[in-house]
Chain A
Amino acid sequence: MSEILLEIDGQKVKAKTGMTVLEAAKAAGIRIPTLCYHEKLEPYGGCRLCIVELGAGERKKIVVSCVYLAEEGLVVTTRSEKIDRIRRTIIELYLAHAPDAFELLELAKEYGADRDRFAKEASFCVHCGLCVRYCAEVKKKFAVGFVDRGTRKEISFVPEIAAEECWDCKECFPLCPTEALQAAFVLMRALSL
Chain B
Amino acid sequence: MDNDRVDQIIDKHNGEASSLIQVLLEIQSEHHWLPKSALERVGERLQVPRTRILHIATFYKAFSLVPKGRHEINVCMGTACHVRGAGRVLDVIEDVIGIKPGETDLELKFSLETVNCLGCCALGPVLEIDGTTHGKMAPGETADVLLNYE
Asked whether any CB of chain A lies closer than 8 Å to the CB of B145, the reply is no
Question: Which A-chain residue is minimally distant from B43 (CB atoms)?
Answer: A142
Partner of B54, one of A135, A136, A147, A149: A147
Rounded to whole angstroms, the CA-CA distance of A28 and B49 in the bound complex is: 38
Q: What are the 8 closest A-B residue pairs judged by CB atoms, nearest first?
A: A145-B51, A142-B49, A147-B58, A142-B51, A148-B58, A149-B59, A158-B50, A146-B55
Contact check, A142 vs B50: say whether CB atoms are below 8 A apart: yes
> Is B54's CB under 8 angstroms from A145's CB?
yes
- Evaluate contact between B51 and A136: CB separation under 8 angstroms: yes
A86-B125 Cα distance, complex, nearest whole Å: 44
B58 touches A158 (CB 8 A): no
Residues of chain A lying within 8 A (CB to CB) of residue B59: 148-149
How many chain B residues sit at the interface, stated as a range, is under 10
A161 within 8 A of B: yes
| Chain B CB within 10 A, most for which of A143, A145, A148, A156 | A145
What 1/0 flags go to B37-68 for Cβ under 8 Å of A?
Answer: 00000000000011110110011000000000
Shortest distance between the CB of B10 and any CB in chain A (Å): 20
CB of A144 closer than 8 Å to a CB of B = yes
A144 adjacent to B51 (CB under 8 Å): yes
Using a Cβ–Cβ cut-off of 8 Å, how many residues does chain A contribute to the interface with B?
A: 14
Residues of A with C-beta under 8 A to B55: 145-147
For B54, list chain A residues within 8 Å (CB).
145, 147, 156, 158
Q: Output the nearest chain A residue to B40 by Cβ-Cβ distance.
A: A160
A150's nearest neighbour on chain B, judged by CB, is B59
Please give me the residue from chain B that is nearest to A146 by CB atom.
B55
Contacts of A147 in B (CB 8 A): 54-55, 58
Chain A, 113-168, CB within 8 A of any chain B CB? 132, 135-136, 142-149, 156, 158, 161
Q: Which residues of B contact A136 (CB under 8 A)?
A: 49, 51
| A-chain residues with CB within 8 Å of residue B52 when the two chains form the complex | 142, 145
Question: In the bound complex, what is the Cα–Cα distance between A145 and B59 (angstroms)?
Answer: 12
The CA-CA distance from A145 to B50 in the complex, in Å, is 9
Q: How distant is the Cα of A143 from the Cα of B55 in the complex, in angstroms?
A: 12
Task: Encode contact with A along B109-145: 1 for CB under 8 Å, 0 otherwise.
Answer: 0000000000000000000000000000000000000
How far apart sit A148 and B50, CA to CA, in the bound complex (Å)? 14
- Chain A nearest CB from B102 CB (Å) reads 12
Complex Cα distance, B54 from A132, in Å, reads: 13
